[in-house]
Amino acid sequence: MNFQPTHGQKSSLGLYGLVTDGYRPIPDELRFVLRQLDGKRKRTYVIWRATHPEKGYVTPADMGDAFMQAAGSADQMTVEVRLPAADGEGHLYTVGRPDPADGTTTLIPISDDRAVRVFSNEIFTADEAAVIFYTYYLTDAVSQPYVLRELDLSNELSEER
């Protein structure tokens, strides 16, 4: 490993660690992890800028207010990002393609008994999501051409499967 890790990660299995290039370059590592999502046992993945990466490990307390997460399976996943807004508060968004949603929705599993409903333009493959994750890793933002749909946290965001 030739660099100082900057981001923490949490797997579906609840394991915390640093995002590193110990096994493969960061873009390939993100793609590898996202390809492991199966919608059953492995359903979620989260990264965030670590508050104190120099200590060499991360815990739940190191997770800040901004993060990117994916849920689902390698062939159908949703990507969400929590970003600070001008009002100083963190806002949660679903990432989507700029093409208008055609009105159809899909349920993406997030646990054994819960799922989130997303529009057709908000479903990605692992390879597509890896590009979004790598951009977030580099810039702490979601780049164009992707669009953000803010989620209303005062409403229940998931439903029974």
Find the helix or strand (DSSP H, E) in which 124 lies.
Answer: none
Give the number of other Cβ atoms within 10 Å of residue 120's Cβ: 15
Q: What is the mean pLDDT of residues 54-66?
A: 82
Q: Mind listing the pLDDT tens digit for each residue in 104-161?
A: 899 998 888 888 999 999 999 999 999 999 999 999 999 989 999 999 877 777 778 7
| CA distance linking residue 66 with residue 30, whole number of Å | 18
